[in-house]
Structure 1
Amino acid sequence: MKISIIGFGWLGKPLAEKLLAKGYQVQGSATSEDKVAKLNQDGLDTVLFNLNPHPEGLGFQSIFDTDVLIINVPPRTKSAAPTFHPEQIKYLKELAKLGNVPKIIYISATSVYPDQNQVARESDKLTKGSTGNPALFEAERILGQDKTYDLTIVRFGGLLGVDRIPGRYFSGKEQVVGDSPVNYIHRDDAVDLMIWIIEKGLWNETYNGVAPLHPKRKEVYEKNAADLGFDPPVSYQEPDKNPWKEISADKILATGFNFTMSNPLDFWYQK
């Protein structure tokens, strides 16, 4: 089976490496010539491909000659207009249809759910007015409309682990939100979840990709600081001051998927 990954980055590269180890044929893309050269040196078949939002690159048509296309293109929500990512996805969809791609996994995020003191599930009815992330909501809609391929959407929570340590981002900070539940997934589990979807044939579904346990932010930040030897936050905001959401992992668990790290308090990190 041929699998293409658009975005050999922090998540895409270890996913490619595990797929290769399992015997799949893998190709992917990076956004600069330096990254392409380094990834090819590392043994990953990589082409230059950018979406600005129109396609740019060299030889990228080959990544659409595949059995499964994984779209791992994080939206630039802080640096670009809300319309930028949906435009990227429009071009990707056309390229996928031209290449007769049969199956697509789109990596979305749990930010599509609004923060409104709720347990959020895949069955929740989202609208343009209610979503927490209009760019991702529109991208999901575009891919799901008039499709010629099987499509599964994975809404990942906070992708953490390895060198991404949540407590470090808030070390020494004041008035940090500490009372809301976290919605995290370790990178190792995120990789395994995508492989699980492919190997179990879980198509035309939407899954939340989050660890099933949701400790409070304060618990995670304090444990990170104690375990890894940096300062915890200086102070926290008053409880119940901010809206929150807890993302349900029930649907992916019902398929038989097992999380290696079901509790974000037990994530492993590089010191």
Structure 2
Amino acid sequence: MNKQTLENTISILGCGWLGLPLAAHLVQEGYTVKGSVTQAERFEALRQKGIAPYQVEITDTSITSNDLAGFLESEILIINIPPSRREDVLLYHQAQMKLLLDQVLKSPAKHVIFVSSTSVYPDLNQEVTELETAPPSKDSGKALLAVEKMLRTNPHLITTIVRFAGLVGYDRLPGRFLAGKKNVENGDAPINVIHQDDCIALITGIIQQQAWGEIFNACADMHPTRREFYTLAAAKAGLELPTFAAATDPHFKIINSEKIKQRLNYSFKYPDPLGLL
């Protein structure tokens, strides 16, 4: 590919619940999009949306792909593979990303968007911004923070980190999460969620406005309590309502997303989580 073609080409590592509709949207915006899945059986679903499909599977010891070099032949790489749910996630996820980074540095990709999570913040019982330095409490958050640093400190890449709150929307129905559960703890804690449509719009905005080299929080403006949100979600879904334990001192964080809103001049499509139920 020549440089002019590369500038309009985006590779998305991980075309799952968020990556696939993101890729389809970027195709509609006029980009050439390459998308990766772990199973070749999913190629046709990508082709139907105008996405060039590639098989890429990364473990802590190897990368399996039908054409990794071809997949990485883009100006922009979006890394959208969350840490695996496993006991050794801290070491495993870093090893995965180290293998990937070694290959990215051999490619023409120079701009990276890393899809991270607000799990990099511990529960501090206060509002948190991107300047917060308190270490994560969970290994998955520690793994993400370590990979963020790995990417951001590499002098050959310009990386933007997007820390998404809990992902909701469409077939990810929060009514099922706590339906029928009894004596759920922490009912008075405020929640942090973001709709899929806002995730896609924000990533698109970062690309189109060239908001590179940044760290952004991304979360709906309003923060109803767990009790309010999950009770209403279950009711709207026609499911058994959860019950919550007697009020105790909640443990929580409130994610502040003012930075990305100001930088991209963005207003959330779903600012109130109760409004998306």
**What's the TM-score once normalised by structure 2's chain length?**
0.91
| Matching residue of 1:10 | 17
Paired letter, 1:28? G
Change beyond 3 A, Cα 1:33–1:245: same
CA contact (8 A) 1:5 1:70 kept: yes
Q: Which one of 262, 265, 276 corresponds to residue 267 of structure 1?
A: 276
| Matching residue of 2:70 | 62
Paired letter, 1:245? K
1:200 and 2:198 matched? no
The offset of 1:75, in angstroms, is 0.5
1:186 and 2:195 matched? yes
| Matching residue of 2:53 | 46
The offset of 1:32, in angstroms, is 1.1
1:119 and 2:113 matched? no
1:243 and 2:251 matched? yes
Question: Which deviates further from its counterpart, 240-249 or 103-112?
Answer: 240-249
The offset of 1:57, in angstroms, is 1.5
Question: SS at the partner of 2:115?
Answer: strand
1:173 and 2:153 matched? no
Change beyond 3 A, Cα 1:220–1:34: same
The offset of 1:175, in angstroms, is 1.5
The offset of 1:61, in angstroms, is 1.4
Structure 1 residue ranges without an equivalent (≥5): none
Q: Which one of 202, 206, 216 corresponds to residue 225 of structure 2?
A: 216
Structure 2 residue ranges without an equivalent (≥5): 1-7
Paired letter, 1:49? V
Paired letter, 1:89? M
Question: SS at the partner of 1:138?
Answer: helix
| Matching residue of 2:82 | 74
Question: SS at the partner of 1:98?
Answer: coil
1:164 and 2:175 matched? no
CA contact (8 A) 1:3 1:69 kept: yes
CA contact (8 A) 1:113 1:132 kept: no
| Matching residue of 1:29 | 36
Paired letter, 1:186? H
| Matching residue of 1:149 | 157
**What's the TM-score once normalised by structure 1's chain length?**
0.93
Change beyond 3 A, Cα 1:187–1:150: same
The offset of 1:114, in angstroms, is 0.5
CA contact (8 A) 1:114 1:131 kept: no
| Structure 2 Cα separation of the partners of residues 172 and 129 of structure 1 | 28
CA RMSD, 1 decimal: 1.8
| Structure 2 Cα separation of the partners of residues 180 and 213 of structure 1 | 13
Alignment of 1:93-108 (within 5 A): 93-108=101-116
CA contact (8 A) 2:122 2:137 kept: no
| Structure 1 Cα separation of the partners of residues 146 and 133 of structure 2 | 14
CA contact (8 A) 1:115 1:132 kept: no
The offset of 1:41, in angstroms, is 4.5
The offset of 1:79, in angstroms, is 5.6
The offset of 1:45, in angstroms, is 1.0
The offset of 1:89, in angstroms, is 1.1
Question: SS at the partner of 1:8?
Answer: coil
The offset of 1:127, in angstroms, is 4.2
Q: Which one of 197, 205, 228 corresponds to residue 237 of structure 2?
A: 228
The offset of 1:126, in angstroms, is 4.0
